[in-house]
Amino acid sequence: MTTYKLSSNENPFPPLPGVEEAAAAALARMNRYPDAGSTALYAALAARLGVSTEQLVAGTGSVAVLYHLVQAFCDPGDRVVHAWRSFEAYPIAIGVNAAVGVPVPLTADGRHDLTAMADAAAEPGTKVVVLCTPNNPTGPALTHAEVVGFLARVPRDVLVVVDEAYREFVRLDGAVDGVALLAEHPNVVVLRTFAKAYGLAGLRVGYAAAHRDVAAAVRVCALPFGVSAPAQAAAVAALEHEDELMARVEAIVAERERVVAALTGAGWELPETHGNFVWLPAGRRTSDLVTAADEAGIVLRPFAGDGPLSGVRATIGEPEANDRLVEVAARFAPASTGEPSGP
Ligand SMILES: *Cc1c(COP(=O)(O)O)cnc(C)c1O
């Protein structure tokens, strides 16, 4: 039986031909260091996003860029506010830089509590706030109006990171566009990655777009020659094949909608997801669900040990994998494990 990995929010599609060939051509020059300035990648991104190349910082995944940002802007003991539960890399990026994480609980429906986060951001010693939209692992996305309102409440000297790792999967009217905020908000930093929609998780390449001074400060902390030549070449080629990539994203979104409808029909109450994943609030049955999934040949991501707040994140993968997910999860639907219904 094929085993499907639905635990890391990867793109299930193989690389597009032009992308694979560009990376392979770069591999042939592996005796050379890569372009330290990521020149071609910055030029392609600047044209694509309508920002200047000086506003960009690439890294070995957008997680690495976040590490460097915290390193650049936080002294030991400085506060970094983020939602929780959210992306697990945040507490690590904060901790390795000896900053202090300030986790702000999500609302009951898995959303950022922007009021509480703005209050936390106004506390002295806060240097950075991270917004994750859509939130990994729960799925809800923020609107532009919500983020603009949030920015109005946050001190101008606090950096507001808008992590848009799953941006391409968002189908929400009025969803935030971090890059569009940059012109008026010099404290905004947008994080984007080639790991998810663009299907380059294994090559490690992501970036930030920010005010040029912020970008320059982050670049100082970046590792020399961090982003490999195959990664740079693949990212540039992926931007050139964006139409085909986005058709694949569309297929994943359609599968997501199919899975959400099936799970809702089976009795699950899911937070509104705009990522390539769904969050199953399985509570104390988290480990049992993941074990049953393992037996059915799908690997899910448990977030156990948190009592009723525990749950399972499942990536939307191949249709066959999604079918198995629906089948297994239906057996654990709250409706099917409560009081037996019927006579
Ligand atoms: C996957 C992900 C990233 C990007 O990770 P890379 O380091 O670019 O692979 C960033 N933020 C969130 C919330 C993610 O889920």
Average pLDDT value for residue range 289-294: 98
List where CATH 3.90.1150.10 sits in the chain: 4-11+243-337
Which atom of ligand 1 is closest in space to residue 65's alpha carbon?
7
- Is pLDDT at 341 greater than 90 in this prediction? no
Instruction: Calculate mean pLDDT across residues 181-193.
Output: 98
How far, in Å, from the CA of 64 to the mean position of ligand 1?
9
Could you tell me the pTM of the whole model? 0.96
- The average pLDDT across 275-304 equals 97
Looking at the chain, list the stretches that DSSP marks H as alpha helix, in order from N- to C-terminal side: 17-27, 39-49, 62-73, 89-96, 114-121, 144-153, 178-181, 212-221, 229-240, 242-265, 286-295, 319-331, 334-337
Q: Where are the beta strands (DSSP E) in 136-205?
A: 159-163, 188-193
Q: What's the CA-to-centroid distance between 137 and ligand 1, angstroms?
A: 11
In sequence order, the 6+-apart residues with CB closer than 8 A to the CB of 230 are: 23, 24, 26, 27, 203
**Cα–Cα distance, 232 to 205 (Å, whole number):** 7
Ligand 1, atom 14, residue with closest C-alpha: 165
How far apart (Å, rounded) are the C-alpha atoms in residues 303 and 281?
10
pLDDT attached to residue 308: 79
d(CA 215, CA 210) in angstroms, rounded, equals 6
pLDDT at 343: 29
Question: What's the average model confidence in pLDDT over 291-307?
Answer: 94
Where in the sequence of the chain do the CATH 3.40.640.10 domains occur? Answer: 17-240
Whose tokens are 């992590």? That residue is 163
What is the fold of 4-11+243-337? Aspartate Aminotransferase, domain 1 (3.90.1150)
Nearest-atom number in ligand 1 for the CA of 62 is: 8
Band of pLDDT at residue 154, cut at 50, 70 and 90? very high
From 3.40.640.10, 3.30.499.10, 3.40.50.300, 3.50.50.60, which CATH number describes the 17-240 domain? 3.40.640.10
| Ligand 1 atom closest to the CA of 206, numbered from 1 | 8
